[in-house]
Chain A
Amino acid sequence: MEEQYLNYTPQDFKSDQEVRWCPGCGDHAILSAVQKALPEVSKELKYNIERYVFVSGIGCSSRFPYYVNTYGFHGIHGRASAIATGVKVANPTLSVWQITGDGDALAIGGNHFIHAIRRNIDVNILLFNNQIYGLTKGQYSPTSPLGKITKTSPFGTVEHPFRPGELVIGAQGKFFARTLDVDVKLTSEIMVEAAKHDGTSVVEILQNCVIFNDGAYDFISSKETRDDRVIVLHHGEKMVFGKNRDKGLVLSGLSLKVVTIGQGGFTMDDILVHDAYNPNPGVHMMLANMEFPEYPIALGVIRNVKDSTYDDNVRDQVLEVMKDAKIKCVDDLLNSGETWEVK
């Protein structure tokens, strides 16, 4: 009975709610990747279904909690990080997941997002980046590329976008991964890694909005070109990519450089090995910031570094102080300090 966590199937994580995203929306694939990952996470971490809490803000993506058969909290726009933080501090035994969009996390919720990361609260944040406001029908977002034409930027945007990975690492993020909606297998593998990481894990999911920003990731999502334009990073493995696995990344001066193995004097030995565990964020930042066409887009777990977590620190401090506390109940408190008798 207690070992339920051994036997879950994706079906156990489906709720009875009708899924309301547009047909063809990338969110569908992400949902199935998560439902596929959760039985795996349950098995590895010995979590029964009642330990999961999905918290979201507002946006198309934020409807997600209704579709997973766990505890769920559909919050208000931008505040999911704060709500999730409260859930985790209140009950650190829960597995808390935050679902958020590029507007939800990086515009209205930017402040809560960076502070959750800075505190390293143990929450898994899934950031659905479709570079657009979906729910409100197509306004530009903080990740829309400069010049992007949308309903509220008919002449193109005049503002620079955030790169979520750069922001996460800048906020002292310890775990950052990136995946692509259509790659369900990779997405679900990353979910398991994110769940296992103790501390804030941010997973940026490049997500297609078929209605308001269709094709934003076509350049990497089509099967023919993907292998040449994407590098999937694995800790401890060479940074190699390409259909023929003949391209790789090397350090040239202080920057990364794409080379072809066997050309220009570069051999496999020159190719960098991915060290996701390195506390130094330098290379992680460069990997997260790679942009096409100069570089391939980095997918996989880019950074995965251990550090103390906020929820553990809160719990430990409380236990430490309680250990030799003189005040053990409210009566003790009320009678502490200077008191006197009126006779």
Chain B
Amino acid sequence: MEKQTGVQELDEVAVRFSGDSGDGMQLTGTLFADASALFGNDVSTFPDYPAEIRAPQGTIGGVSGFQVHIGSKKVNTPGDYCDVLVAMNPAALKANIKWVKKGGMVIADADQFNEKGYQRAGYKTLDAVTELNLQDYKVIMAPITTLTKESLKDSGLDNKSIVRSKNMFALGMVYYIFDRPMNFTETYFETKFKKKPEIIEANKKVLQDGYNYAANIQAIPNTYSIKPSKILPKGKYRTVSGNTATAWGLIAAAEKAGLPLFCGSYPITPATDILAELSKRKDLGVKTLQAEDEIAGICTAIGASFAGNFAVTSTSGPGLSLKSEALGLAVMTELPLVVVDVQRGGPSTGLPTKTEQADLMQALWGRNGEAPVVVISATSPSNCFDAAFNAGKIAMEHMTPVILLTDGFIANGSEPWLIPNMKEYPKINPPLVEEGTQGYMPYARDDKRLARGWALPGKKGLTHRVGGLEKDFLKGSLSHDPINHQRMVDIRAAKVERVREFIPEQKVIGDSEGDLLVIGWGGTYGHLLDAVTDLREKGKSVSLCHFSYINPLPKNTRDILSRYKKLVVCELNMGQFANYLRMNFQEFNYLQFNKVQGLPFTVVELVEKFNQLLEGK
């Protein structure tokens, strides 16, 4: 009998791919995301992977997941819960079922649900459906491993390579269900395996067989279509992850300043990709130095900055701790420097692969002495580009270290990005001192920014010495004079304060006054925006004030805070930004919503919380 297929149209859908770390789920998810983006959907992704590269096979600890949220409407988050879960083994199903919407679809590899599989995943029985209460879900147990072997039995590939292709079988099934074109993925195989035609053919075949299988089984009665998005602005798009965007933003800043980019860095999850991406960019003259530790990372950068490169260092929380003393040196020598901290769960080694926003206080205050630096944050994967560019612009034009805070969630997440045109970005004008300038004083400042001049070694007539000891107000020579020290502490603070005059005013999404103002900063933007939008659509008086610039805060911050009946500060830490606001604007009462589970907020929990606050609870 011919199968009856119907096509149901949806605005949005979230799919979660999960399996063993070795099952290639990150790639599978990425391919689905890219195919959807190229198809014209808006997309947001969330890789959720374990810290161990290879935890014991089949165990919960080894489960790696990748959630993709696609829509014909604007998509701001990877989605709290998914509509479809692909589970390549019992452990993946057990670990991820809590992320599936009630009544959602589960596609599982039946071949792995054997005694060994159940046992490794710590099931009590040999019946996942009953044990996990899956009666209300649409569970499709497909013999994916067997079918993959069958599909490739004449391919000439060895057994291991064949079994490794089973993720493509699963992807083929998902492509059928969501009515995705497969040509993007086929092109990917062709470029990726250029020199191995047999692998290209094998992958294509498995993908197609997975697709056909899904088309033929009765268990999948209809497919879903998510139309290309109509609200995305016109233009040329690409997909970008937060770490790549950060790296590119730094390169863009170097280009606009006309200086070479230098990055000294030590690998650390989840920041390593920035160093890796910059290392690829020798074509643009980028110099990267994989240092012996984080201290050397920042110190080489400081040396490079002294010598006239735009210098940066990238790290995560533990690395930022190691860089503290040297950051003070950069404050004292008043050299441009960007430090990127891709925050992860702490303290100590903490949760290396999970997201958190708990380095804010460290970024603001984590140094000896009065050592103010500019602190800014990025709000989404693609926003990392602008944030990194702005960090570089401020660092170079104001002669100060700038800490850029991103986090594991936006660093690894990706989204379609309307490709910017560099013509639309401003030139960066560092205060370089011209060769032979008469009467050059290393610590003389311009009135506007209070920035000192940047005199580069190699230039005639400008020889001078800088260092970590307190400086004379003008000459920059050593000074232990008490009044001079006070003056220097004041001027370093004033210089950072002065940045306020050069950053945009803070914007509010929603109304300029009302019942509840939701306050956030950094990578929580998408979730907060969705929650606030949801409530506003229901007629509630809720607005969002989401900060990118943290030190200094935008000029109009106090004015904004004064216009709402209630303020709630939402962040993935125990209240660091809330306390910072309390310190700066003591007259207001700040409610808090905090979460430290290594996970982003969910829109559902935010909406619930805001409703409670609106109802006066």
Q: CB within 8 Å of B: which residues of A?
A: 15, 17, 48-51, 53, 55, 58, 65-66, 69-76, 79, 81-91, 93-94, 111-112, 115, 314, 317-318, 320-322, 325-331, 333-335, 337-343
Contact = CB atoms under 8 A, between A and B. Distances in A.
Interface in B280-333: 281-287, 289, 291-293, 295-296, 299-309, 311, 325-326, 328-329, 333
B401 interface: no
A91 to B, nearest CB: 4
Identify whether the interface residues of B are mostly helix, strand, loop, or mixed: mixed
Contact of B237 (A94, A322, A339): A339
B302 A86 contact: yes
B468 A75 contact: yes
Interface string B325-361: 1101100010000000000000000000000000000
Interface string B412-431: 00000011111000000000
A334 B283 CA distance: 13
A83 B337 CA distance: 13
A105 to B, nearest CB: 14
* Size class of the contact patch on chain B: 35 or more
Interface stretch (B34-42, B491-499, B542-550): B34-42
B569 interface: no
Contacts of B464: 71-72
Given A82-B296, A91-B457, 20 more contacts: A50-B459, A53-B306, A55-B303, A65-B467, A71-B463, A74-B465, A75-B302, A75-B468, A76-B326, A76-B468, A82-B303, A86-B264, A91-B307, A318-B282, A318-B285, A318-B286, A322-B282, A325-B282, A334-B420, A342-B237
Contact of B303 (A90, A314, A326): A90
Contacts of B458: 50-51, 91, 93-94
Contacts of A66: 465, 477-478
A327 to B, nearest CB: 5
Nearest to B466: A73
A115 B292 contact: yes
B466 A76 contact: no
Contact of B307 (A76, A82, A86): A86
Interface of B: 34, 37-38, 40, 184, 228-229, 232-239, 248, 251-252, 255, 260, 262, 264, 281-287, 289, 291-293, 295-296, 299-309, 311, 325-326, 328-329, 333, 418-422, 456-469, 477-478
Contact of A334 (B306, B419, B457, B477): B419
B331 to A, nearest CB: 12
13 contacts: A50-B458, A50-B462, A53-B306, A55-B303, A83-B303, A85-B303, A86-B262, A86-B302, A86-B306, A325-B283, A328-B284, A330-B251, A330-B252
Contact of B422 (A15, A90, A330): A330
A326 B232 CA distance: 29
Given A49-B463, A66-B478, A340-B38, A90 B296 contact: no
Contact of B255 (A65, A111, A329): A329
A342 B307 contact: no
B467 A74 contact: yes
Contacts of B308: 90-91
Contacts of A343: 234
